Amino acid sequence: MADVSRETSDAGEHFETASEVLSRIFGNSSSGVGGELAQSHLAQEKLDEQTFPKPKQTRLIAFANQKGGVGKTTTAVNLAAAWAEAGMNVLFIDLDPQGNASSAFGIPHPVGTPSIYDVIEKRIPMQDALQKSDHFDTLDVVPSTLSLSGTELEIADLDDRWFLLRDTLDAYLKSSSKHYDYVAIDCPPSIGLLVLNALGAVHEVIIPVQAQYYALEGLSQLVSSIEAAQNGVNPHLIISGMLVTMYDRRTVLSKNVYEQLAEHYPDVILKTYIPSSVKLAEAPSFGETAITYDPKGPGTVAYREAALEIAKRSDKVMKMLGN
Ligand code: ATP
Ligand code: MG
């Protein structure tokens, strides 16, 4: 097989980096598999030169969109994993009865597992439901089980039904000897009592938006619901990011959707977008996040870039929150 590296210096052998080789072979075109690979190698090399700033205070973030299947869970787990990989202490709360995030972290969650269901209904404190993810030392996960699907009915008559998650999370964060840099909450696809509990417990919402034709439909409803939460359960709540997912670089549609969102929500849209990637979809079936399952893949690199972009916004977010 031909050696693709080149000697470029008289003084000694200089081997091209992987991204230089890929760019030389495939050119700088971003469309097509080769171009995408070259771009993502380049992006990873840039990431390797950067350090993730630690937020001065714990950032509490809910990943929400009432629309189903837009990439909430994929986004929440891979950002959390990217932060943990960068050495941040992360607490992940799976607030979806489907338990997809728990699966992605490789945590078995049959009914009966101590979970957010028991925590939110005050049967156990949060620390009793914590589990470690095998792949990340600095990541703690509170899993979910199917039983959580009964919670909205079970708490409906309680006076403090809007604040159950906030109160139990506050109590845990105050009592824990560990300082968390990020708390990430994966929400179910609704705007029910569970999601309102998440909105009451966090400072920030990040909205994953799938790059597809109906992307903007429903978004204004979501933004109104978040505004309603600001006026009700949580006056200190901001939308700190909107992340476009399943972006297909070969289509004009993806580009158009991104541009429309950037026009409507210029302050919150993240520059990074997440490409469509089979590996991102495959990873959970192996009980892994893409960060470990496909460490060099374009989807993974994009999630690391998004994690860094969000981390770099920490000071701005703290200012917006008045801290
Ligand atoms: P739900 O509303 O059911 O909770 P969700 O908003 O959490 O869904 P995900 O479960 O993250 O969405 O993603 C929906 C489906 O799309 C999953 O099968 C997931 O593996 C897949 N998926 C997510 N992101 C990508 C991507 N960038 N490329 C390809 N497939 C993806
Ligand atoms: Mg989900």
State the residue for tokens 């589990």. Answer: 131
Percent of the chain beyond pLDDT 70? 89
Q: What pLDDT sits at residue 95?
A: 98
Helical segments of the chain, H only: 18-26, 33-48, 72-85, 100-104, 116-120, 151-155, 164-175, 193-201, 219-231, 252-264, 278-282, 290-293, 298-312, 314-320
Structure tokens at 17: 């980096």
> Residue 36: pLDDT above 90?
no
Please give the pLDDT value at position 218: 82
3-state secondary structure of 204: strand
Give per-residue pLDDT as tens, 293-315.
Answer: 999 999 999 999 999 999 999 99
- Residue range 124-151, pLDDT digits in tens: 999 999 999 889 999 999 999 999 999 9
Residue whose CA is closest, atom 13 of ligand 1?
71
- The residue contributing the CA closest to ligand 1 atom 23 is 71
Residue range 187-193: mean pLDDT, rounded: 94
Mean pLDDT value of segment 63-88: 97
Tens of pLDDT, residue by residue over 79-98, are 999 999 999 999 999 999 99
How many angstroms does the Cα of residue 124 sit away from the middle of ligand 2?
24
Taking the centre of ligand 2 as the mean of its atom positions, its distance from the CA of residue 34, in whole angstroms, is 30
Angle at 143 between CA 302 and CA 282, to 5 degrees: 40
Q: What is the DSSP letter of 23?
A: H
Given pLDDT bands bounded at 50, 70 and 90, which one contains residue 7? Answer: very low
Q: Is residue 73 within 6 Å of ligand 1 at its C-beta?
A: yes
Answer yes or no: is pLDDT of 41 > 80.
Answer: yes
Please give the mean pLDDT across all residues of the chain: 90
In angstroms, rounded to a whole number, what is the distance separating the alpha carbons of residues 6 and 261?
Answer: 43
pLDDT at 256 over 70: yes
Token digits of residue 3: 């050696």
pLDDT in tens, 145-167: 999 999 999 999 999 999 999 99
pLDDT at 12 > cutoff 70: no
| Ligand 1 pocket: which of 36, 67, 73 to mutate (most atoms within 8 A of CB) | 73
Rounded to a whole number of angstroms, the CA Rg of the chain reads 21
Q: Is 174 helix (H, G, I), strand (E, B) or coil?
A: helix
140 lines ligand 1 (CB under 6 A): no
Q: Identify the pLDDT of residue 20.
A: 62
Whether 163 and 194 have beta carbons less than 8 Å apart is answered as no
Q: Would you state the pLDDT for residue 137?
A: 96
Verify whether ligand 1 is closer than 6 Å to residue 104 (CB atom). Answer: no
Q: What is the pLDDT of residue 4?
A: 37
**Cα–Cα distance, 156 to 9 (Å, whole number):** 72
Least distant ligand from the CA of 101: 2
pTM of the model: 0.90
| Ligand 1: nearest atom to the Cα of 282 | 20
Q: Kindly state if the Cβ of 74 falls inside 6 Å of ligand 1.
A: yes
Report the pLDDT averaged over residues 276-288.
97
Closest ligand to the CA of 294: 1
